[in-house]
Structure 1
Amino acid sequence: MVNSNNALAKSIVIAGDNWCPINCAQDSEDKGFMIDLAIEALALSDYQVTYVEVPWTRAVELASKGEVDAIVGAFKNDAPDFIYPQTPLLNISPNNLFTTQDNEWVYQNINSLNDVNIGVITGYDYGDKLNSYLFSKASAKVQQIYGNNTSSRNIQRLLKKRIDVLVETGPVFWYHAKKLNVLHQVKQVGSVSKSEPCYIAFSPFLPSSKDISIALDKGVEILRQQGRVKEIADYYGLPAKLYQ
């Protein structure tokens, strides 16, 4: 991991909830693909990154007020007024669907969700199509949770039959299922939509946001040419199709 030795390095704070391997625990040595990449990329422009782990809706609120500089793991619908870099760090589906091995339900179309209890996380962007469903009258069986460790908690709720289907991004789901040692108990049963660009997004309140977003783009491109982006992605088990 690269840190700037420049005594005049500009400090910035990036916030998000634990969405490992994209961004992980604040006190972990491995802070996740996007955070590790941002630390190295922004160090090339003499920025020093601090990562803080807070519930997602809180992260968005803090950044919108300029109390932190950015949020990590954002789709554009999460915070439409934020400043986004030109190039996303990942392209992933926000709405892969998972259930237990003994559940025969399979996603057919949006109306097929009426037959199951769905687990989601408060404040997440699940794409236009699923967002519309979740906030419609047809979504009475949608269960939302808030706070820390939401991905692991939702998997545990799935296994305890408190929900029938969990909506999650694939790499995040499989990371936490492996960590919980339950890979053999779960399966993917569809996706509502295709992959979408996923970013570190910068506060609309801070005048520095545009410059930092440009610095991130420049740094990531340098690291990409050096093969460092691939190295970090490989470390976290992310396949090339997600970041190329």
Structure 2
Amino acid sequence: MTAWRALALLASCLLSSQLLATEPVRLVGDEFCPYNCDPASGKPGYMVEVLEEIFAAQGMTINYRLKPWSRAVHVVANGGAQILLANTYNSAPNKRLQLVMGEDSTCFLARNNYTWHYSDIPELQQHRLGAIQSYHYDSGGPLDQYLRSNHPQVYLAKGELPLRSLMSMLLQERIDLLLDNCNVLKRKVSKMGIAEQTRPAGTLPGYHADLHIAFSPADPDAEQLMALVRDGLSAMRSSGRLAEILKAYNVNDWQREDR
């Protein structure tokens, strides 16, 4: 064994022994399936499954809970949980303490009889639009600025299940359109069985970003925990195990060559 490998192994053992003394790693986010889903289901989301396996390999466990998004960010920022799931770069409590673990793109959804397709922000202003409060849909770009402008055509949902509320409003014709992450919308439409009542109404052009997991700046072990997850992701990718989990959720590896 080379000297650097021996040092790496020693560092790994010391890291594991320190973290093993802690309680379960606390994960939190709002429901954002397939990234993180209902913890009571058999498929809690690929981020949750991957993290659970990484920590289990070190003899550690997880405690995963759902909270409204603004509350989840606050909890992680203040040390009430150690990892925030499925955040965009700008929504992390500390931008340095995060790892890429997914892809973000924004899609629009309309009722099947509503003949509209996204073209630009000025045209969008003519339609009643539903979105989720405190979400970032284009990394602080023109769409996010419009959503935060208090425009009378914009409705911002909050609470425990904001996307489900928006879907109900759409079907009841209380809003004309809604938007969310493309993978999330596709999965929610399928789960609610409303594919025949709705239709895709365009993807936000030019926007493609990373989704992250963010570590609490109030956690003294945050950097060690982040290193453990980074190394675990690398090992799972090399072994093919990451691809197996992602395939079960019908999503691609965010480090694929065609990006």
What is the TM-score of this pair, normalised by structure 2?
0.84
Give the match for residue 218 of structure 1. 231
Deviation at 1:22, TM superposition (A): 1.1
Report if aligned partners of 1:15, 1:72 keep a CA contact under 8 Å in 2: yes
Aligned pair 1:172/2:191, yes or no?
no
Aligned pair 1:97/2:108, yes or no?
yes
Equivalent residue for 1:115, pick from 126, 135, 146: 126
How many pairs align?
235
Give the match for residue 242 of structure 2. 229
Equivalent residue for 1:133, pick from 129, 146, 154: 146
SS in 2 for 1:183: coil
Give the match for residue 164 of structure 2. 152
SS in 1 for 2:184: helix
Cα distance in 1 for partners of 2:39, 2:189 equals: 20
1:208–1:125 distance in 2 versus 1, CA, 3 Å: same
Aligned pair 1:54/2:98, yes or no?
no
| Contiguous gaps of at least 5 residues in structure 2 | 1-16
Deviation at 1:237, TM superposition (A): 1.8
CA offsets 1:32-51 (integer angstroms, 9 cap, x no match):
01111111123334432211
Equivalence map 1:171-210=2 (5 Å): 171-192=183-204, 193-210=206-223
Deviation at 1:103, TM superposition (A): 0.9
Report if aligned partners of 1:101, 1:186 keep a CA contact under 8 Å in 2: yes
Deviation at 1:8, TM superposition (A): 3.6
What is the TM-score of this pair, normalised by structure 1?
0.89
Cα distance in 1 for partners of 2:47, 2:110 equals: 27
1:62 alignment partner AA: V
Superposed CA RMSD: 2.0
Cα distance in 1 for partners of 2:246, 2:231 equals: 18
Deviation at 1:189, TM superposition (A): 1.7
Give the match for residue 89 of structure 2. 76
1:167–1:34 distance in 2 versus 1, CA, 3 Å: same
Identity in percent: 26
1:176 alignment partner AA: K
Report if aligned partners of 1:83, 1:213 keep a CA contact under 8 Å in 2: no
CA offsets 1:49-80 (integer angstroms, 9 cap, x no match):
21111111111111111111111010012225
Equivalent residue for 2:154, pick from 142, 145, 167: 142
Give the match for residue 24 of structure 1. 37
SS in 2 for 1:15: strand
Deviation at 1:194, TM superposition (A): 1.9
Deviation at 1:177, TM superposition (A): 0.8
Cα distance in 2 for partners of 1:204, 1:8 equals: 20
| Contiguous gaps of at least 5 residues in structure 1 | 1-5
Cα distance in 1 for partners of 2:58, 2:123 equals: 49
Give the match for residue 53 of structure 2. 40
CA offsets 1:5-43 (integer angstroms, 9 cap, x no match):
x99464210101111111111222221011111111233
Deviation at 1:232, TM superposition (A): 0.7
Report if aligned partners of 2:83, 2:214 keep a CA contact under 8 Å in 1: yes
